[in-house]
Structure 1
Amino acid sequence: MLRFLSVLLATTFLLFSSFSSDAQRTYCNPMDIGYRYNFEQLNEQISYRSGADPVIVNHKGEYYLFVTISGGYWHSNDLSHWDFITPDKWPFEDMCAPAALSVRDTLFLFQSTFEQRPILYSVAPEKGKLHFYNRWLPRLPKDIGPWDPALFHDEDTDKWFMYWGSSNVYPIFGAELDPKRRLTYAGPYQSMFWLDPWKHGWERFGPNHADLMKPFVEGAWMTKYNKKYYLQYGAPGTEYNVYATGTYVGKDPLGPWEYAPYNPISYKPGGFMNGAGHGNTFQDNYGNYWNTGTPWIGVNWPMERRLAMFPAGFDADDQMYANTRFGDFPHYLPTKKWQRKDELFTGWMLLSYRKPVTASSVKDTLRAELVTDENPRTYWVARQNRAGEWLTIDLQQPSDVRAVQVNYTDYKNNVYNSDSTVYTQFTLLHSLDGKKWELLTDLSKEKKRDRACAYIELSQPVRTRYIRYEHGYTAGPHLAISDVRVFGKGSGKQPAIPGNFRVIRQKDERNANIRWEKVPGAVGYNIRWGIAPDKLYQTYQIWNDQPSTLELRALNIGVSYSFAIETFNESGISSLSSVISIK
């Protein structure tokens, strides 16, 4: 009897103290995948996990993710849990910016190259089975490519095409491929378009488009919608907060092309995760569109990056968009065809911004409070990388916690291969009083998954005030965490709309000066804009402790715009302000 009671009590404790959910209903950017250690900078002895230039392909109802320099690819059934696959045949060197395409029962794969390289194919990609579709795609002139390639099959005409380009000298190129000759070039390649930063403010280089260096165009991708061709591209540079995706639209796969005045279509210059350029557009099993992108980290090397995916689509006027509003907050995974662009947003707000943090130890000046500043380029480092080191965040009031994201940093790392020693172990605890602790989730036994951006969704809300991270294991000599992000709902009221909202376009029409009055108790603000009052698809997120002014340098010359602003805090989002229209 005593043994039975002991088992019952132990089972009850596990049921009521562990709130993590195996059947995850939500996701949060940056994507929670096993980012591979990147040997791009091996000769400089820089070691870090990274992912860039994502392509997600829906192949026979399952998803495949291809990423720069990863030694393989990922497979998922739900867009949440991704299993890494090491294929039996891989290119002669690892792939940069790969192209992937699903046509009928076959998945095609091709790498960026300036040399002669084959197109690969698979009818069993879930098993890692790859074969040569052709042996060599003919070499193009020096420096032309095809770098950053994209493969496109037009189902209506059964014609094949390739697009490519990654340069601040050359344009995006395109060419038809000949399926009768194993997808070699059917004719001469053609230039599609160049960047025009003198007319398109968002194509200017540098942080907030403030550098005079000539920008880069790269990352081509083609989507066909309603008999129109949307040739997408990344600009102006992957190592900045303003890395974005734009599109040209045409009636033929090789043009002529018309610049979309609503560009960029995917843009996320503010918030925790900056940058949304160079990805792809795909449809899920419910017919919803998604756009992937490459957010910027830039701690160990300017090109250190992560991955993101955003709900996307086309409006009633065939305007293409990707929804990056609250793009690094939790969103629901798709279960049906959505009707509104914001309906996947959970409404779980950030509870941890600038909240007090204590730690078991600190190395040098890499302080604990840096884990709540929403900046992936600042980080806490423990004195030693050993089990038992901890961080405690005080949310300062009881709140309903729904999810936690732990973002690790590769601080002075010496790991150069994602082998069996690379995995992540930790435990999350919570407390109402900072004294009595209960379990939120236990990943202390995990030995298969490495989670540089670990996202933990709770199966039910937990009313609590303190969140504690207890360390188990990470590979490398240091335990370093950039941010522990806590999401849920606070106890207060939704914030007010900012007052005195003003937008003045500069003489240089690419720029606009924006001002507003701060709202007491706000966490931050979303500046929203677009080419019409009902097309406010762009968002620039600003924290409340930043100045209440913004010079927006992302506008297109000759295009009229509409602007509005909203406030958010730990309890919700204000109504949208009145719309201001400018010419």
Structure 2
Amino acid sequence: MRTTCLALLLAASAGGAAHAAEFHGRTYANPIDIDYRYNYEQMNQGISYRTGADPAFVRYGDAYYLFQTLADGYWRSTDLVHWDFVKPDKWPFDGPVAPATLVADGKLFLMQSAMEPRPLLYSTDPAHGHWRFWTRLLPPVPHAVWAGHESEMKPGDLPPGPWDPGLFRDEDGKTYLYWDSSNVFPLYGAQIDLALDHADEGEGKRMRFVTEPKALLRLHPDQHGWERFGQDHTDTTIDPYVEGAWMNRHGDRYYLQYAAPGTEFNVYATGVYVGDGPLGPFTYAPYNPVGYKPGGFVTGAGHGSTFQDAHGNWWNSGTMWIGLNWNFERRIDLFPAGFHADGQMWVDTRFGDFPHRMPDHPLREGESTFTGWMLLSYHKHAQASSATADHPASAVTDENPRTFWLAARNAPGETLTLDLGGPRTVRAVQVNYADYRSGRYGDAPDIVTQFRLEGSTDGKHWQALADLMHETRDRPNAYVELAQPARIRYVRYVHGHVGAHTLAISDLRVFGNADGAPPPAPELTAARRLPDARDAQIAWEPVPGAVGYNVRWGLSADRLHETYQRFADQPTRLTLRALNKGVRYVVAVEAFDEHGVSRLSRTATLEP
């Protein structure tokens, strides 16, 4: 077929070109683009899927390392954008669950979740996968009792562990361990000794508990709406889970973070208690949840880690829920975070699954990492070379990872084409594969993802936008920033290879901008607390042409850190069930479309 050259535009204006050039090649989109591993836990049930959860990010030397649940290794990056998988040379773990990391005295420590004594590893060369035992068996939690099931334990019993551990070393050199995952027991903490100054005591004596385990926090869903279980906090039949402890110190304050109410829901979130010491006492933060993403393409922001990059910028990671094949099918996210001068912690999940830039400098107060590249593919017409009746091509533009296009065959040359409805400036594409009867478990050389992206102005003449036909790794959530923005109407995915029995794509997401002004601000028509003060009703007038809306709230008009994203095919009203009793809130709404983001609506106050 004859092809013609496409006009490649830098931006709609000289100012836009300069802005885009500031972060060209340094953008990313959630879920982060890594080779998530095939899970083997459900092998006996015949359920095959990629997954990743409970991320522990750590900076060691001049690189970042990512450890997560059920991976036969870990990932390394020098820029937080491009990640390489590292296969360790000594790895006694059968896929660690919710691991903890610690950098101390030039060593990187790694501890897995455990209900019985397990190894503690350390490395001084994690880039090459070299690990050694610090101790082959962790000492048991003092006074822990295990009766086989939580229901058989007596009040006051201490569960075994540490499950969902978190490690923290204070500025005075003392080390602390935090742990537990339960809807019965609280989170615990204790000071430990890693014998860093007398390692010659012997491998089996290199860790001990210095203090007795101390209960640090429990959930209070009767007071904190976001701690209630279920989708949108609507399941009152099950007690919520507290888990995923993580500790950071900022100034003279200690921030004990935790996850609730359950990883298999859109509302999985991160909360924080603040204290004057590493073992408390701690005070509940009224601005909780601090990390929350209940709406959008992928949802969930709980159970992760908070860390600083090489420029001093803070980041918070968490666990996003997919839930197509199994309740615990998940992915990893990464959000900007930080602390206000008065100590309030924040995590920015606004447009949390749109492209963001990775800064190469310390961010200024209020400086956003959002690129301003908007979603161009929402509910656009899609056509495929083949499809099954139950999984049509239209599923790839609905922003739902639990629906998908299924090709009639997994073969090179299958295509998927989107009509954006007119000329658009396209800057990035995200290809999200779905695991439908994938039939894969663990790792194999042929589990790689290969495809080509093409663009066209007329649907007849095509030119390559990006070529991944020779990719050597698996990319189930492949994010591709184009080398140059392209002025096109059509985007085509051309299949090469995927290491699964079927070819299934949940969403082909296209980002960039349409010409024209952003939408007007929506009119906020209602914002009232309901009789149950944990809930509020928010309503607004539809904005013609809007792709969606962000309901934003927080403790003041200049700290609307919480966001619930809604698409235009959903009602323009929201029952918000994430509020804390006794806390005053400010709420507003913004609209977004392919041109950009509106100004905020008027603000309204939700009195306690």
Bucket of the pairwise TM-score, normalised by the shorter protein: over 0.9
Q: Does 1:360 align with 2:385?
A: yes
Q: Does 1:164 align with 2:187?
A: no
In the TM superposition, residue 16 of structure 1 has moved relative to its aligned partner by 7.9
Unpaired runs of at least 5, structure 1: 1-9
Assess, with a 3 A threshold, how the Cα gap between structure 1 residues 82 and 518 changes in structure 2: closer, same or farther.
same
Q: Deviations over 1:411-452 (max 9, x none)?
A: 011111222110000000000111111110111122x21000
SS in 2 for 1:371: helix
Q: Distance in 1 between matches of 2:433 and 2:208?
A: 43
2:16 is matched with none
Q: Distance in 2 between matches of 1:66 and 1:23?
A: 27
1:147 is matched with 163
Q: 1:364-443 to 2 correspondence within 5 Å?
A: 364-443=389-468
Q: 1:528-539 to 2 correspondence within 5 Å?
A: 528-539=552-563
Q: Deviations over 1:225-277 (max 9, x none)?
A: 01100000000000000000000000011111100000000000001010000
In the TM superposition, residue 206 of structure 1 has moved relative to its aligned partner by 0.2
Q: Distance in 1 between matches of 2:443 and 2:566?
A: 36
Q: 1:135-534 to 2 correspondence within 5 Å?
A: 135-140=136-141, 141=144, 142=146, 143-155=159-171, 157-180=172-195, 182-212=206-236, 213-446=238-471, 448-534=472-558
Q: Does the 8 A contact of 2:537 with 2:574 survive in 1?
A: yes
In the TM superposition, residue 354 of structure 1 has moved relative to its aligned partner by 0.4
2:571 is matched with 547
How many residues are aligned here? 568
Q: Distance in 2 between matches of 1:25 and 1:476?
A: 30
Unpaired runs of at least 5, structure 2: 10-20, 147-158, 196-204
RMSD of equivalent CA atoms: 1.8
1:91 is matched with 92
In the TM superposition, residue 99 of structure 1 has moved relative to its aligned partner by 0.4
SS in 1 for 2:438: coil
Q: Does the 8 A contact of 1:32 with 1:452 survive in 2?
A: yes
Q: Distance in 1 between matches of 2:514 and 2:287?
A: 36
Q: Does the 8 A contact of 1:433 with 1:465 survive in 2?
A: yes
Q: Distance in 1 between matches of 2:160 and 2:135?
A: 21
SS in 2 for 1:501: strand
Q: List structure 1 runs of 4+ shifted beyond 6 angstroms.
A: 12-17
Q: Distance in 1 between matches of 2:458 and 2:365?
A: 40
Q: Does the 8 A contact of 2:5 with 2:463 survive in 1?
A: no
SS in 1 for 2:32: coil
In the TM superposition, residue 317 of structure 1 has moved relative to its aligned partner by 1.4
Q: Distance in 2 between matches of 1:205 and 1:341?
A: 33
Q: Does the 8 A contact of 1:279 with 1:292 survive in 2?
A: yes
Q: Does the 8 A contact of 2:252 with 2:276 survive in 1?
A: yes
1:3 is matched with none
SS in 2 for 1:540: strand
Assess, with a 3 A threshold, how the Cα gap between structure 1 residues 162 and 556 changes in structure 2: closer, same or farther.
same
Q: Does the 8 A contact of 1:564 with 1:576 survive in 2?
A: yes
Q: Distance in 2 between matches of 1:154 and 1:271?
A: 37
Q: Deviations over 1:39-97 (max 9, x none)?
A: 12112111111000001101112100001010010011111111111111112432000
Counterpart of 1:561, as a letter, is Y
Q: Does 1:111 align with 2:135?
A: no
Q: Does the 8 A contact of 2:293 with 2:300 survive in 1?
A: yes
1:5 is matched with none
SS in 2 for 1:407: strand
SS in 2 for 1:167: coil
Q: 1:26-41 to 2 correspondence within 5 Å?
A: 26-41=27-42
Q: TM-score, length-normalised on structure 2?
A: 0.91
Q: Does the 8 A contact of 1:501 with 1:565 survive in 2?
A: no
Q: Does the 8 A contact of 1:118 with 1:135 survive in 2?
A: yes
Q: TM-score, length-normalised on structure 1?
A: 0.95
Counterpart of 2:174, as a letter, is K
Q: Does the 8 A contact of 2:101 with 2:108 survive in 1?
A: yes
2:198 is matched with none
Q: Deviations over 1:522-565 (max 9, x none)?
A: 00110000011211100000111110110000000000000011
